[in-house]
């Protein structure tokens, strides 16, 4: 199945550093979402973006919906240990059936170095 291109694949940072990751697609989406997944658990929604060009914040997280509707960016400021995990972007588009299935990126694994 289709997977969105997400980069970087992994990041090793020190606590307190800022983090940036992005996601690109060959297709247009009308919603972009960012999820975080901890080992052995399901993805948890962090931020949802509904309009091209939209910039949305949730605490230390900031995400942007690209103008072309084919990309999105996530920034995490002042990272803390609980930020460790895998971050997934997801694009959402309404199909002919009204299905709002998600197309996920390949993930960015964030590790904090002591």
Partner 1 sequence: DTGVSQNPRHKITKRGQNVTFRCDPISEHNRLYWYRQTLGQGPEFLTYFQNEAQLEKSRLLSDRFSAERPKGSFSTLEIQRTEQGDSAMYLCASSPSGISGGGDTQYFGPGTRLTVL
Binding mask 12-41 for partner 1 (x = CB under 8 A): ------------------xx-x-x----xx
Q: Is the bond into 8 cis (omega within 30 degrees of 0)?
A: yes
Contact assessment for residue 110 and residue 60, using Cβ atoms and an 8 Å cutoff: no
Q: In sequence order, what DSSP letters do the residues of 6-44 get, joined into one string?
A: EE-SEEEEETT--EEEEEE-SS--SEEEEEEE-TTS--E
Q: Counting contacts by CB under 8 A, is residue 107 touching partner 1?
A: yes
Interface region with partner 1, contact rule CB under 8 A, candidates 13-21, 44-52, 54-62, 68-76: 44-52
Interface region with partner 1, contact rule CB under 8 A, candidates 14-22, 65-73, 76-84, 99-107: 99-107
Q: Smallest Cα–Cα separation from 12: which of 83, 105, 63, 71?
A: 83
Q: Among 11, 21, 43, 110, which residue sits at the site for partner 1 (rule: CB under 8 A)?
A: 43
For residue 60, the 8-state DSSP code is T
The footprint of partner 1 on residues 55-94 (CB under 8 A) is 88, 90, 92, 94
Q: What is the rounded CA–CA span in Å between residue 90 and residue 70?
A: 11
Q: Counting contacts by CB under 8 A, is residue 47 touching partner 1?
A: no
Give residues in contact with partner 1 (CB under 8 A).
1, 3-4, 6, 30-31, 33, 35, 40-45, 48, 50, 88, 90, 92, 94-95, 97-107
């Amino acid at each position: 199945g289709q997977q969105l291109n997400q980069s970087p694949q992994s990041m090793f940072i020190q606590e307190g550093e800022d983090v940036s990751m992005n996601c690109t697609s060959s297709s247009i989406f009308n919603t972009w979402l960012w999820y975080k997944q901890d080992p052995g658990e399901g993805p948890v929604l962090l931020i949802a973006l509904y309009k091209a060009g939209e910039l949305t914040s949730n605490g230390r997280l900031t995400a942007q919906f690209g103008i072309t509707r084919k990309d999105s960016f996530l920034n995490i400021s002042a990272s803390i240990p609980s930020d460790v995990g895998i971050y997934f972007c997801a694009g959402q588009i309404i199909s002919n059936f009204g299905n709002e299935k998600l197309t996920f990126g390949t993930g960015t694994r964030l590790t904090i170095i002591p």
